[in-house]
Amino acid sequence: MSSLVRTGPRPIGPELGVGPIGFGCWRFVAMSTTDARERLELALDAGMNLVDTADVYGLDWGGDGFGAAESLLGSVLADAPELRARMVLATKGGISLGVPYDSREEHLVAAADASLSRLGVDSVDLYQIHRPDLFAHPDEVAAGLETLRKSGKTREVGVSNYTRVQLETIAAALPFPLASTQPEFSALDLTALRDGHLDVAMRLDLAVLAWSPLAGGRLATGEDVRPELREAIDLLAERESVDRATIALAFVLAHPSAPVALLGSMNPDRIRSAARALKVQLDRSDVYSIVQASEGVPLP
């Protein structure tokens, strides 16, 4: 029986294609341009051509403030402009410090302009709303995304951290297809699996960009993980001769929505080894053993 792990490219819209593992830039801060370039090139060489950042990245992990991750990536692209052609560049906006969320048209356009300036590019391939603005009408949000797309500042648009109903609503409000959704999804957080989010993504033909597939590293270390889940992953890791992180990535890649697992590690060894997940063999018994161990209750 063939493995459930999906190893092929993932479409984002009709023209963009990305590998099954992406390079997440939440921790892409507090390093030199040389070190940042090394990590980016390692990721690209490993087939991680989706590079996902956001304007708010830089407030954690030793970053020096809002926009720091985009600015560092911009410095890398200024140093090595040829790398831009090797990536599908995605960023996110809509978070406003002290507000905290603002998805009005004028704010999304201003946020995108600021992101493009920090990145040193004229456009990105994918622009996503980072978190839903609960007090913005869907038509107003759609107008902002439409403006960005019509102006050529982004090729495709998507959303991040939306609920299933919010996802359906914004997709219905847009005059063109939504391209992506970015939920948290891992063996430790099955919310998107259980609440219908991934099912809606399949119905709407959306790229699923799964953030924190290693649960912030907890699935790699085993810390603060239910003992039953750690044991289930360890058994599979031993069988497949890989580590826990590799099994955790393979689990995300096994869902029929064909998620892109966004790896956030800046550890060169972790970046190099991520592709091992594509060689893991997981069948239905394996993935359901992980689900049952994660939830801590027998499957009905």
> For the domain that residue 36 is a member of, what is the CATH number?
3.20.20.100
Does the residue 221 lie in any domain? no
Does the residue 224 lie in any domain? no
For residue 299, give both structure tokens.
Answer: 């499957």
pLDDT of residue 1: 64
Does the residue 99 lie in any domain? yes
Those residues of the chain that have pLDDT short of 50 are none
Does the residue 278 lie in any domain? no
Does the residue 43 lie in any domain? yes
State the Cα–Cα distance between residues 300 and 298, nearest whole angstrom.
6
* Entry pTM: 0.98
- Computed on alpha carbons and rounded to an integer, the radius of gyration of the chain in Å comes to 19
Handedness of CA 255, 261, 265, 268 (dihedral sign): positive
Strands 154-160, 124-129: pairing kind: parallel
Measured between alpha carbons, how far is residue 57 from residues 26, 27, 28 in Å? 5, 8, 8
User: What range defines the domain where residue 83 resides?
Assistant: 10-215+259-265
pLDDT, one tens digit per residue, over 177-194 is 999 999 999 999 999 999
Give 36's Cβ-side CA count (13 Å radius).
25
pLDDT of residue 19: 98
pLDDT of residue 80: 98
Does the residue 229 lie in any domain? no
Beta strands in the chain (DSSP E): 10-12, 16-18, 21-24, 50-52, 88-93, 124-129, 154-160, 180-182, 207-211, 260-263
Does the residue 188 lie in any domain? yes
Tell me which residues are annotated as active site: 57
Does the residue 77 lie in any domain? yes
- The tally of domains found in the chain comes to 1
